[in-house]
Structure 1
Amino acid sequence: MRNVLFVCTANSARSVLGEGLLRHLGKGKFETYSAGSTPRGSVNPDALACLVRHGLPADGFRSKSWEEFAGPNAPRMDLIVTVCDSAAGEACPVWPGHPLVVHWGIPDPASVDGDDAVRGMAFDQAYQRLKRRIEAMLALGDAVFTAEDGKQKLAAISAAADA
């Protein structure tokens, strides 16, 4: 069982999609989490609607601080994935166990203005990008977490999956 944390500034959209997707696609091999540097305090309803549209559960998500995962009693992470550029550029906490940390930037669907259909398309696009990246990560197999070049392979997914 591998622990993976998806991080974004508000922990209301992209990081929640990543948490839900890996939980589903990882088929019980991953414990997934999401957090933010400055959490909004609630999950974006469009993110939850996106998960439901794609047949994934949308219950149990909450917007929370990454500090929950930096303390001595926090689960030991194997991988931290930042999904927004601002979180990637921030000074992250010192993660217990020194996990791999990679950046998979995804445009913020929550910043898209418009009606339900327009916002839904933006969330679906973010969902599909994350899905391709997570599938690429899973295709690397568990050995990527201990490989000497594992971090480079995981970081390269961002560009390769969108090509």
Structure 2
Amino acid sequence: MAEEFLRKLGGDRFTVQSAGLEPGTLNPVVIEALKEEGIDITGKAPVTVRDLIAAGRKFDYIITVCDEASAERCPVFPGGGRRLHWGFPDPSGFDGSPEEKLAGTREVRDRIKQTVADWLAGPPWHP
């Protein structure tokens, strides 16, 4: 979600890429929550940190969004880049009815969107 909001709110100021530790499928609840914001990630292929390292990718900023409270492992990305951490709960771990999962995912989505907007509006950064 952070990738999509940075792309949407940051426009062409950034080349944005996200990656996880384990390859998997996209969470359908996240797909639905982002569609409510006019963002369609249907069919997007997940990328792993290992893929980016193998491709020799370099970044100006490396932003992790893993939830340290749940002991989720945050990826370590070698190489340059200023490191930022924005901890958010992982919607794939939400329990409850489909409506409760969507409500929780919306809360995380809205927090991520606000965090990205605040970062973009904050002190100067140099992509």
Shorter chain as denominator, the TM-score bin is 0.7 to 0.9
Distance in 1 (CA, whole Å) between partners of 2:39 and 2:109 is: 11
Paired amino acid for 2:120: L
Residues 5-34 of structure 1: CA deviation (Å, up to 9, x unaligned): xxxxxxxxxxxx111111111122222111
- Structure 2, gaps ≥5 residues long: none
Q: Which TM-score applies when normalising by structure 2?
A: 0.84
Aligned to 2:111: 129
Aligned to 1:87: 73
Aligned to 1:58: 41
- Structure 1, gaps ≥5 residues long: 1-16, 147-163
Distance in 1 (CA, whole Å) between partners of 2:27 and 2:106 is: 14
> How much has 1:38 moved relative to structure 2?
2.1
Residues 55-97 of structure 1: CA deviation (Å, up to 9, x unaligned): 11223522221012223x4442111111112233x5x1313xx
Aligned to 2:13: 29
- After the TM superposition, which parts of structure 1 deviate over 4 Å for at least 4 consecutive aligned residues? none
How well do the aligned residues superpose, as a CA RMSD in angstroms? 1.9
Distance in 1 (CA, whole Å) between partners of 2:90 and 2:14 is: 25
Q: Which TM-score applies when normalising by structure 1?
A: 0.67
Give the aligned length: 123
